């Protein structure tokens, strides 16, 4: 099972294996409090794409399209996520964004669930 959760929310047993999928470590959050099992920054959007989305006003559909292109070049990391889901049963993709619907973890979860 793949799920998403904001990294600032309290960790729960139901989260299973917790993977941070942001390129940058979340502000003002200690590693102990975040309770991240794995920081997979290599699967996060590139710095250029992240900046265009967050700072230059790129719309969501364009961001999603471009991020999927980046992920298509990073199939090894997607395979790693699928393997971790098989090993742990439940994997929670953690993100720092305040937006629960428009962030890279949502896109990753869709892809891993086969809902491109």
Give the pLDDT confidence score for residue 56 in this predicted structure: 85
In this prediction, residue 66 carries a pLDDT of 96
Domain ranges within the chain, ordered by starting residue: 2-112
- In which residue are the tokens 């298509």 written? 72
Q: What is the pLDDT of residue 15?
A: 97
Phi-psi region of 73 (alpha: psi -120 to 50; beta: other; left: phi over 0): alpha
| H-run or E-run covering 81 | helix 75-88
CB atoms within 10 A of CB 7: 23
Percentage of residues of the chain with pLDDT beyond 70 = 98
The candidate with the shortest Cα–Cα distance to 65, out of 116, 99, 112, is 116
Per-residue pLDDT tens for 10-44?
Answer: 999 999 999 999 999 999 999 999 999 999 999 99
The model's pLDDT over 53-76, given as tens digits with 9 standing for 90+, comes to: 988 889 999 999 999 999 999 999
Rounded Cα gap, residues 96 and 79, in angstroms: 23
Report pLDDT for 41: 95
**pLDDT tens-digit profile of 75-85?**
999 999 999 99
For residue 116, the model assigns a pLDDT of 60
Contacts of 28 (CB under 8 A, 6+ apart): none
pTM, full prediction: 0.93
Mean predicted lDDT score pLDDT of the chain:
94
Task: Give the H/E segment covering residue 20.
Answer: strand 17-20
Cα separation, 115 vs 46, whole angstroms: 22
Render the burial of 67-97: b for 16+ CB within 10 Å, e for the rest.
Answer: beeebeeeeebeebbeebbeeeeebbbbbbb
């Amino acid at each position: 099972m793949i799920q998403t959760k904001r990294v600032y929310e309290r960790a729960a047993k139901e989260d299973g294996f917790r993977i941070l999928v942001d390129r940058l470590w979340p502000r003002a959050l200690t590693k102990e409090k975040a309770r991240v099992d794995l920081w997979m920054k290599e699967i996060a959007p590139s710095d250029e794409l992240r900046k265009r989305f967050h700072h230059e006003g790129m719309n969501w559909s364009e961001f999603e399209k471009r991020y999927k292109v980046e992920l298509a070049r990073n199939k090894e990391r997607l395979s790693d996520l699928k393997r971790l889901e098989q090993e742990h049963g439940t994997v929670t993709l953690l993100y720092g964004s305040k937006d629960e619907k428009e962030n890279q973890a949502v896109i990753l979860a869709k892809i891993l669930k086969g809902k491109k």
